[in-house]
Amino acid sequence: MLKRSVLTLFQSIVLSLFLIFSVQAQQAFEKDDLVIFSADGSAHRFEIELAVSPGQRARGLMYRREMTSDAGMLFIYEEPQNVMMWMKNTYISLDMLFLDGTGRIVHIEEKTTPLSTRTLSSEGQVSAVLELNAGTVSRLQIKKGDIVHHRFLK
């Protein structure tokens, strides 16, 4: 009887670990490149991760402690929509660039507050959101109207 209970417990633990690792694998982020073209003609290249599934978009950059200066995450939405984001469980401050379907920056939230539950709004319908390290927008002089070029943006 005791052997059977231990075996059942072991099977439950193995199954639980399998499910946890399966969910994490499904939320792995594909890596890609994108370029931001500024009005002054300069081009800024970034190596980004793509958040395309609902699970990936929900997780985003949560729990990350750092990100290289040329890194970011691009959140892609199937249809243009009003997007609401927050910084809960996000340890690094970010600049958020809200993009229309053509990749044009329509709104920017700079230097967001880590771990905040304050809602950050796209202030209109967008097709994507690009998150970069806080300070990138001011350092590279990125502005509303600049264009983000990526294969998901037409």
Split at pLDDT 50, 70, 90, the class of 154 is: confident
Q: Give the span between the Cα atoms of 108 and 121, in whole angstroms.
A: 10
Question: Shortest CA distance to 46 belongs to which of 130, 152, 138, 151?
Answer: 130
- The three-class DSSP label of residue 130 is strand
pLDDT of residue 10: 53
Q: Indicate the domain borders of the chain.
A: 29-149
Contact yes or no for 149/37 (Cβ under 8 A): yes
Question: Shortest CA distance to 149 belongs to which of 130, 122, 121?
Answer: 130
Residue range 34-63, pLDDT digits in tens? 999 999 999 999 999 999 999 999 999 999
Percent of the chain with pLDDT over 70: 82
Sole residue written with tokens 């294969």: 151
Residue range 91-122, pLDDT digits in tens? 999 999 999 999 999 999 999 999 999 999 99
Split at pLDDT 50, 70, 90, the class of 17 is: very low
Fold exhibited by the domain 29-149: Jelly Rolls (2.60.120)
